[in-house]
Amino acid sequence: MSKDFVLKKGLDIPVAGEAELRVSKTTAPGIVAVEPTVFKGFLPRLLVKEGDPVLCGSPVMADKKNPDILLASPVSGTVREIVRGEKRKLLCVLVESDGKRQCVDFGVREASGLDDAQVRDALLRSGLWPWLVQRPYGIVADPAVRPRDIFISAFSTAPLAADAAFCFGKDAAAAQAGVDALSKLTDGKVHVSIPADGPESPFASLTGCELHRFSGKHPAGNVGVQISHIAPIRKGDTVWTVSPAGLVAIGKLFTTGRYDVARKVAVTGPMAFAPAYIEAVPGMPMREIASFCGNSEGLRVVSGDILSGRTVGREGYLGFFDNQITLVREGTDKELLGWIRPLRFNQFSADRSYFSWLLPKKKYAMDTNLHGGPRAFLMNDGYYARVLPMDIYPVFLAKACLAGEIEKMERFGIYEVLPEDLATCEFVDPSKNNIQDMIEKGIDLMLKEMA
């Protein structure tokens, strides 16, 4: 039996450049990067050296704190280079693909017939364990912990987000196997959230889990927002979350015996030429989408959505968790008297400051321009709360994180959020503060002090 949730707070940002529901190309990258930096709480220890052969699913590095947690190669080939940064920090391992996609055989098994130890061992050995994200704090899940519940948001409401029905329409069997496996790892429930509106979700027929239907504006599709309405996280609680791509990859491990993290990726944004989908693997070089970029100067390449994605540039790589790439223009120009010109039909305002609100269906070629500089916080918390459907105090939480006051962070909701949950607050903030960075620093402080 499903439960319906109607969220009235939030904000849908009308950005131009939505991807057409077609696969433009299937990438076969020559080089793929395995980046440990995208996994919060993961301290990498190398398991390979330059020149070593690897298969798809071969372990490349392990966590120093928990050696059972592995990161695996998404392609078969040879380790070409180990890239380090300042103080020899390990940034990534570059694997040169042989184009054959030879895989480690982990064996086909019926997930519903396994016990929790067998499922845990299979996920750890295959390198799929990092798909499990632990809350609070958004770190790689601890295998020694049994979570209260596991949550999966099977859709996204972020600007220009990839269409879940198009991406996972043929993966219903793998998704069911994934749910069967995850249900062994918790004494609570596996919660799957699907959209209440639009085409029927490919996850709507899942059994062995509790289905929830959500409707509303962004961030209604964020798993953190859904958790706050289904079963909020309190101090001492531990829950895990899995993305729909992760759920399908876990299911394929049991149905095919292979490490398969290939996915459809939406190439979107105002600067994208003929935005569409591509078939790709995580760690794909962004130069593989050169045909979407053209020769545009001043281009920002974002792995993820425009609100909470990671800027990687043309020489960067697709993030492990991302199934969207956003291309936007770097906004370096200044507009004379812009803020007092109401007749700005090409500028979007969440406050109806311009007459562009008379065109509700218009999409905007937004850029990275802040249209102003940082200034003091607006103290009216209700201003931010109207775009955040969670029972927290966003301004007071952000200020507590900025000040490093742990007791106040706990009081105002640090256990319930990740930076992405407050992305809409950052977008509407007239003070131009980096609210997501503040939350990230607060979480880092909690990890350091509460460990």
DSSP per-residue letters across 334-378: --TTGGG----TTS--TT--SGGGG-TT--B--BS--SS---PPP
Most confident of 120-129, 350-359, 374-383, 423-432: 120-129
Whether 330 contacts 300, CB under 8 Å: yes
CATH number of 3-14+107-256: 3.40.50
pLDDT, tens digit, 9 for 90 and up, residues 53-91: 999 999 999 999 999 999 999 999 999 999 999 999 999
Structure tokens at 203: 């996850």
**What CA–CA distance (Å, rounded) separates 34 from 72?**
8
Alpha-carbon gap, residue 18 to 10, rounded angstroms: 20
Enumerate residues 6+ apart whose C-beta is below 8 A from 123: 129, 132, 181, 250, 253
Show the beta-strand stretches assigned E in 7-97: 23-26, 31-34, 44-46, 53-54, 59-63, 70-72, 77-84, 90-97
> What are the DSSP calls for 261-326, one per residue?
--EEEEEESTT-SS--EEEE-TT-BGGGGHHHHTT-SSEEEEES-TTT-EE--TT-B--TT--EEE
Segment 5-29 shows an average pLDDT of 93
Find the Cα–Cα–Cα–Cα dihedral 162, 166, 170, 173, rounded to 10°: 50
Q: Which CATH class is domain 264-358?
A: alpha beta
Domain layout of the chain by residue ranges: 3-14+107-256, 29-97, 264-358, 381-450
DSSP 83-121: EE-GGG-EEEEEEEE-SS--B-------GGGS-HHHHHH
Which segments of 386-434 does DSSP mark as H helices, in order?
Answer: 394-403, 406-412, 423-428
Taking only Cα atoms into account, the Rg of the chain, rounded to an integer number of angstroms, comes to: 22
- Res. 342 pLDDT band, cuts 50 70 90: low
**Tell me, what's the pLDDT at 241?**
98
Average of per-residue pLDDT values in the chain = 92
Residue 141 · residue 133 · CB < 8 Å: yes
Provide the pLDDT confidence category of residue 28 given band limits of 50, 70 and 90: confident
CA distances from residue 8 to 83, 216, 230, 325 in whole angstroms, order as listed: 46, 6, 16, 28
- Per CATH, 3-14+107-256 and 29-97 having the same topology is answered no
What pLDDT digit, counting tens, does each position of 217-261 carry?
999 999 999 999 999 999 999 999 999 999 999 999 999 999 999
Place of tokens 């979700």: 201
DSSP state of 152: E
> What b/e sequence results for 405-440 when a residue is b if at least 16 CB atoms lie within 10 Å of its CB, and e otherwise?
ebebbbebbbbbbbbbbbbbbbbbbeeebebbebbb
- Please state, in angstroms and as integers, the Cα–Cα distance from residue 160 to each residue in 17, 241, 277, 307, 434, following that order: 7, 22, 12, 10, 22
When mean pLDDT is compared across 72-76, 125-129, 160-164, 349-353, the lowest value belongs to 349-353
pLDDT score recorded for residue 179: 97
Q: Are 311 and 300 in contact (CB under 8 A)?
A: yes
Mean pLDDT of the 28-50 span: 95
Q: What token pair was written down for 274?
A: 């003929």
Higher pLDDT, 287 or 346: 287
Query: Is residue 360 pLDDT above 60, yes or no?
Result: yes
> What CATH number does domain 29-97 carry, 3.30.70.240, 3.40.50.1820, 2.40.50.100, 3.30.830.10?
2.40.50.100
Angstrom distance (rounded) from CA 397 to CA 272: 36
pLDDT confidence of residue 338: 61
Q: Stretch 351-371: mean pLDDT, rounded?
A: 82
